[in-house]
Amino acid sequence: MKFFQKFERRFSRYAIHNLMYYIMILYAIGIVVQMVMPMVYWQFLSLNPAAILHGQIWRIVTFIIYPPMGSMAPIGSSMGLMMSDLLFNGIALSLYYSLGTNLERTWGAFRFNVYFFMGVIGHVLAALIGYLVFGQLMLLTTTYLNLSLFFAFALTYPDLQFLLFMVIPVKAKVLAIFDGLFFVYGFIVGGAADRCAIVLSLANFLIFFLMTRNLSRYTPKEIKRKREFRSQTKIIPQGGTRHRCAVCGRTEKDGENMEFRYCSKCAGNYEYCQDHLYTHRHVTEGPQIPQ
């Protein structure tokens, strides 16, 4: 949309570059908090809408530190349990850091910032609406936020393969479909508050791509195509022409409204003007004979 393009030109200088680096630091802090003082997060840092309405507005930001793999085994638990939690959270941090940095590299820092913080705002709205409208206290964590990041990655890199269980190769779009089906099921069987939470928490995925409907030009395939096209484009000498009809020899200099197309049925790269595109004799081999 033009509105978003204007918005980007005006505020892009304020974008946080390498945003996922700072998010990973917050996750690392959340892991330490969960291990040392597990109840501190839920009492003072979680996305508690009742506490936010009573002035604890820092929760709008601090809820982000919740680890991707959930609660950690506190210090004093068995060493095996603590190490397994650290291992799985370490893998999750590495995964989401890779997803985020690749999206930022493909979209640009500003678009990635908008997408991520729209997800944060969606979580806050979902928690507040669930509490004020439906009377349900929903302590949303970063689960939906991380999944919205994965959905965006799967749409941008649909054919990239992940090794499921470190063995089975699965494409990103397949994993995204299964995640989507899980949320559709939750939306169908859940209550009104649960549906509100699912929709608003993933609203950044829907709204952002509606605002940037030309996102296809940011996909790796399209970027590669444009790069190859630029490398193959020759500089036209001054006074030269780019198009020439294989039948009549007319070029774009013969009229401002002249249009030229290639014929897919002709053998070779033969270009025709609008008057001969559908009336010429198809070339099977050798040069085109003017009609």
Residue 103 has phi, psi (to 5 degrees) of: -65, -40
Nearest one of 267, 273, 264, 266 to 244, comparing CA atoms: 273
pLDDT for residue 236? 47
Is residue 243 within 8 Å of residue 252, measured between CB atoms? Answer: yes
CA of 203: how far to CAs of 118, 210, 249, 271, in Å? 8, 11, 55, 47
pLDDT for residue 219? 55
> Cα 213 to chain center, whole Å?
12
In the chain, how long is the greatest CA-to-CA distance?
A: 90
User: What pLDDT, in 10s, does the model give residues 143-196?
Assistant: 888 888 888 888 888 888 877 766 778 888 888 888 888 888 888 887 777 788
Domain layout of the chain by residue ranges: 2-224, 236-291
Is residue 273 within 8 Å of residue 263, measured between CB atoms? Answer: no
Looking at the DSSP bridge assignments, the partners of residue 164 are 168
Paired sense of beta strands 168-171 and 271-273, if any: unpaired
Half-sphere exposure (Cβ direction) of 231: Cα atoms closer than 13 Å: 6
Residues 107 and 101: their CA atoms lie apart, in Å, by 10
Q: Which residues contact 284 (CB under 8 A, 6 or more apart)?
A: 267
2-224 CATH fold: Rhomboid-like fold (1.20.1540)
Strand, coil or helix: 273 = strand
Q: Can you state the angle between helices 109-132 and 203-211, rounded to 10 degrees?
A: 140
pLDDT for residue 188? 87
User: What pLDDT, in 10s, does the model give residues 67-87?
Assistant: 887 776 677 677 787 788 888
Residues 190 and 185: their CA atoms lie apart, in Å, by 8
pTM: 0.68
Per-residue pLDDT of the chain (291 residues; tens, 9 = 90+): 566 677 777 888 888 999 999 999 999 999 999 888 888 999 999 999 999 999 999 999 999 999 887 776 677 677 787 788 888 888 889 888 998 998 898 888 888 998 899 889 988 988 898 889 888 888 888 888 888 888 888 888 888 887 776 677 888 888 888 888 888 888 888 777 778 888 887 888 877 776 655 555 555 555 565 565 555 444 445 556 678 888 888 887 777 777 888 877 777 777 888 777 777 777 765 444 444
pLDDT for residue 151? 87
> Cα 258 to chain center, whole Å?
40
pLDDT for residue 26? 94
Residues 108 and 258: their CA atoms lie apart, in Å, by 38
pLDDT for residue 211? 62
